[in-house]
Amino acid sequence: SASAGNGLLPRAHHGPVIYRITETNNYYTKQPKTMRTTKTFLFSLLLVIFATVAQAKDYNASFFGIKSNGTTLNTTSIQGAIDYIHSQGGGRLVFYVGRYLTGTVHLKSNVTIHLNEGAVIVGSTNPYDYDTVFNRGSQALIGAFQCENIGITGKGVIDGQGRAMSYNRIDLIQKGLIKDELKYDRPEIRPTLVYFRECKDVNVDGIMLKNSAFWVQIYDQCDRMTVNNITVDSKAYWNNDGLDIVDCRNFKLTNSFIDATDDAICLKSHDHRQMCENVEIRNNVARSSASGIKFGTVSAGGYKNVKIVNNKVYDTYRSAITIATPDGGHIENILVDSLYAYNTGNAIYLRIGKRWTGERPVGTMKGITIQNMYCEIPQAKPDKGYDYEGPIEDLPRNISPASIVGLEGHDITDVTLRNIELVYPGGGNPNYAYRGLKPKDLDSIPEMAAAYPEFSQFKELPAWGLYVRHAKNLTLDNVTLKAEARDYRPAIVLQQVDGALLENMKYIEPGGGKKQVFVYKSTDVIQKK
C-alpha cells in the first residue's frame, strides 16, 4: 500500500489500490485502506489525548501528602492542593476511602472537591483551626469567596464534629482565651460546614453533611448554583439550619433530604440592596426542630420568583411553610405547589413585621400562591424526643391556625390558597385559653410589629383553621379544613380583610351546626358554594 506523505492523504500510487467495502446508512462505498488506517489512527490518538486531559484534571489527595488516618491535621496540605490545582487551570481534588481531619480550607476558582464513597472530611474540634471566609462570624470548614466554577461532589461525607467543637470553644471563652459572646450559653461565632459567598457557577451534588456547629451550609449572594441529591443530618448543636440560601440568584435545590435542629430549608436576605431571585426548590424532604421551609427570618432585601414544588415536611416543630418579611424586604411572585406535611406544629404562616427596618419602609408581600397542599397538625409536640427540641413557648394557647397577618396599613395582597386540606386535632378548650369573637376580643389581638415572626406569637387566636388579618385580594378555592374534635372557635376568621373570595370550601368538625366563617371589619367578602 502507499506510504503516507502528510499523514492525512495518500501519496501518488503506482500499483493497484486496495479497497475495503464498508456499509454506511445501507449504502456501500469504497474507501482506500490507507486512508481508513490513517483516520483510525487519528481518531484513536484524539481519544488518548482527551482521556489524558480528563485524567489530568483529577488529582489524588494522597499525592499532596494528605493523610486519611483521621488524626493528622491536613489543613495546610489540602489548601496547598487546592492552590496548586487552581494554578494549573482547575480540576478535581479527589478523596478516597478514609477520614481526613482538617480546619478551614478555602476553595479557589475552577476547583472541585470530590469525595468518593467512604471518604469523610472531618472538622477539627479545635476552635483555633478555623478562620473567616468573608467577615467576622463567617467561619467555615470549607469556604469560598468570589470564586467561579467550584463544587463539592461525590458520595462521601463532611462531618463537622460540631458539638465537641462548640463545647471546646465555650471552654476557651470561659477561660478568657477567646473573646466571644455567650448567648443562651452558646458561642456567637461557630463554623458552618460550607460557606460560599459571591460565587458563580457552583455545583454541590451527592454528598452528606452532618454535625455542624452552626448553620450547616450558607450560600450567600451566589449566582447560577445547583444543590442536588444531598443529605443533611445535623442535630449536633443549636442553630443547625439545614441549608441557607441568602440573596442568591438562579439557585436550584433538588432531590435532597434535610434533617436539622433549626429551619431545614431557609431563604434569607441579609442585604437590603440584594434579594433571592429565581429560586427553585423541588423534590426535597425536610424535618426540623423549627420550620420546614422558611423565608427569613432576616429579610432585608426580599424574595422574587420562587418556586417550591413537590416537597415533603415531617416531624417539624414550627410551620411547614413560613413566608415572613419583618425587616423591610419585598416578597413577590411565590409559588408553593404540592407540599405535603405530616406531624408539624403549623401549616402556613405569612407575616409582615417591622423589626430592624429603622428609617427604611416596611416590607411588602404580594402574589403568593399555595396550592395542592396537604398537612396534618398533631395535638402533641411534633419534635418530641430530639436532642435539641423547639422550646415550649407562647402558652397558654390552643392549637394555632394557619395565619396570614400583615400590619395596619401594610396588607399582604393577592394571596391564593387552592386545593388545600389541613387536618387539625381540634378540641380547643375555652377554659385553657380563650379568644372570643366580640369586638373587644378581636381588637385586643396585638400588632406585635417588632416581634420575632412566629405563628404562635399572638398566643390564642379566634379560629382553629385559618386566621387572616390585614390582607387584600384573598382567594380561597377548594380548601378543606378538618377538626378531629369539636373546637369552641370557628374554622375561619377574616379580620380587616379588603376583598376575599371563598369558593368550594369544606368544613369538617364533629357536632357541626355552627357558623364556620366569621368576618370582622372586612369588605367585599364573597362566599360561594
pLDDT digits (tens, 9 = 90+) for 212-262: 999 999 999 999 999 999 999 999 899 999 999 999 999 999 999 999 999
Contact between residue 287 and residue 264 where contact means Cβ atoms under 8 Å apart:
yes
| pLDDT tens-digit series, residues 7-46 | 333 333 334 333 333 333 333 334 444 445 544 444 454 4
pTM for this entry? 0.89
> Is the pLDDT assigned to residue 48 strictly greater than 90?
no
CA 239 to CA 219: how far, in whole Å? 16
Contact between residue 4 and residue 34 where contact means Cβ atoms under 8 Å apart:
yes
What pLDDT sits at residue 357? 85
The pairing of strands 186-187 and 182-183 is antiparallel
CA 459 to CA 451: how far, in whole Å? 13
Mean pLDDT (the chain, rounded): 90
| pLDDT tens-digit series, residues 271-328 | 999 999 999 999 999 999 999 999 999 999 999 999 999 999 999 999 999 999 999 9
CA 150 to CA 204: how far, in whole Å? 9
245 CB-near residues (< 8 Å, 6+ apart):
219, 251, 253, 265, 266, 267, 268, 276, 279
Tell me 16's DSSP state.
P
In Å, how far are 65, 67, 121, 464 from 77, measured between CA atoms?
6, 9, 13, 59
Assigned C-alpha cell, 148: 467561579
Assigned C-alpha cell, 435: 379568644
